[in-house]
Structure formats: structure tokens, C-alpha cells
Amino acid sequence: MNELVPLLIRWYETVRKPLPWRESPTPYHVWISEIMLQQTRIEAVIPYYRRFLAELPTVADLAAVPDDRLMKLWEGLGYYSRARNLKKAAQVIVSDCNGELPGTADELRRLPGIGDYTAGAIASIAFGQPEPAVDGNVLRVISRITASSEDIALEKTKTNVRERLRAVYPVGREAGLLTEALMELGETVCLPNTAPRCLGCPVCGHCQAFATRTTDCYPVKSGKKARRIEERTVLLVKCGNRYALRKRPDAGILAGMWEFPNAAGHLSGKEAVEKCKVSGKVAEIRPLGTAKHIFSHLEWHMIGYEVHVIAEDGTLTWANADEIRTDYAVPTAFRYFTGLLE
């Protein structure tokens, strides 16, 4: 493993892409980028990252941002608990750490939303600490290099890989370079779900899976549970040029975000109006078609109706299409219906 470190660092310095968070790897910038990059493609994150930092350039700004504005800045990135935990952590940093992120992985792990991977990434990239950041990419790389049959879905496997890497990690600038080199190798060369690009790998001469022609056997991973499917009926309730919105509960899926009235099941228009407790005289109901949204553990299969009412219901929030798109954080799950607003 010791022999791999300089090879990976030299390779990374020749291939590294000019990403915005690499231009100024301050602790705050690394933290925001790593949270955004969880479960999200690099290309999708870049405009969100720039917009987020333009409006919230410091930890103190993040700690003080209103929840609705934070959700609007995050709208479309998904996994919204990430944004809520960012604000919670920022408030702790301001109140307990003089507004500065702590510099060790152990201290970072105590903050909301920061686990072993993110703590390792911040500690190594921003502070030069000898702390690995082990995610799916790194597990795949190390599993192939060592031809390990350990199940990467198990926490003990992640712990074992983390300890093996920590034993050979450099300090200072090279710690961050090694962290990013391992990430880059997994993202661009040692690929998942397809043949790895072994001839472009800087450490293929040390890779046991490559030597034995068994790269397709690694990593070993136990299967995921099938997603649960939920049917829902969504209503675009319209009065004049304004539509009804309601806020989701503060806990659970899509917590605290804005949504169109909806109910469980595939219902008729009349049933949905009754179940969503839309008050006021209904002038017209017309179908809007179907949509599907996939969460990590769940699928929503949706049908929809546009419902014209004579007067606005005071228990709901009303806004026109431009206001909804500009001021209200409506989850991507409802993107199909947001696209139908006039």
C-alpha cells in the first residue's frame, strides 16, 4: 500500500479537473462541496455550489439563513436533509467553535450531518490531516487492488479499509491530494457497473484483480432491498392565476418543503378533492396525466388533476406560477406538475 501513494498523487496532479471547490479548498468550501456531492453528479453540483456560496459565503451566513430560502437554494439537489443538517451544523459551529470548522476528524464527526467520509474529506483536504475518506468509489478501488472478497455493504469492511489507508496516509498537502486521487480514480478509471479502464490506471501494476483478470468479480456487495412503491394523486388547485400550496411536516420525507395538495392512492378527481379537503366551490376538474419520481428507497407513481375553484381556501397558501418558481422550494418529486403551471 505504501508504494501506491506516490503513484496516485503524481497521477492525480496530472489529470485533476479544474473544479470550483478545488480552486479555494477552505474548510467551509470543502464541507459544502462534499455534502452537495453526496448522491449527486459533479456536473449537476457546480451551479448549485456557486449560487450557494454567492448567497451564503460564510458559516455565519449559513447559520442565519431562513429555512425557506435555504430550501430554495437547495431545490433540485434532492436529499433535503443534507441542507437542514448543514444549517444545524453551522449554528453549532457559530455558537461553540467561534465560527470556524474544527480541524480534526473526531471533532467534525460530532457535527450534524457529518459522518466518517465527510469528516475524512474535510480533515485531509482542508487541514492536511492523515485521514482517509472512504466512499463507494474508494471501496471499489481498494477491493480490486487487494482482490478482497469482503462485502463493501458492511460497516466493518469500511472500517477495515479506512484503517488500512490511515496506516499509509501522508500529512499536509499530500493528504488532500491522496484523498482526491482515490476519488478521481474511482470516478474516472476504476468504474462501477462496467469494465474498468485498467490500461489508464496508475497502479494497475499493483492491482491483484488486474493481474488475475478478475476485475469483474470485485467489489463484493450484498443486494439492496427493492424500492417500495407508493401511489399518489396530486392536485393543481387553481383560483384565477394562483395555485394552492401547503407545507409538508417538519419531520419525514421532504420535511418542511412546499408541495401541491396530494393524497395517497390513485383516486378520482372528486375523491382527491375530498381527501385533500379542498374547500370552496369546484368549477372544473380535468386530468393532468401521470408522473413518477424515484427516491433512494421509494418510488412515487403519481396521477394528477387540475382543479378550478371559485374562491381561495384560507387554509392553503396561494401563489402564481412565477412566485412558486422563484420563492417556494417545491421538491423535484413534483417537477412534472410544476412544469404545467401557467
- The SS3 call for residue 133 is coil
The helix (H) or strand (E) run that includes residue 262 is: strand 262-264
The secondary structure of residue 150, as a DSSP letter, is: S
Q: Which three cell numbers stand for residue 278?
A: 379542498
Does the annotation count 75 as an active-site position? no
Strand pairing report for 258-259 and 298-309 = unpaired
> Which residue in 115, 145, 298, 111 sits closest to 214, CA to CA?
145
Contact by Cβ (8 Å): 222, 153: yes
Give the Å distances, CA to CA, from 342 to 73, 320, 327.
Answer: 23, 8, 16
The helix (H) or strand (E) run that includes residue 332 is: none
Listing DSSP states for 228-253 in one string gives EEEEEEEEEEEETTEEEEEEPPSSST
Catalytic residue of the set 3, 13, 23, 34: 34
User: Which amino acid is present at 61?
Assistant: D
Rounded to 5 degrees, what are φ and ψ at 54? Answer: -65, -35
Tell me which residues are annotated as active site.
34
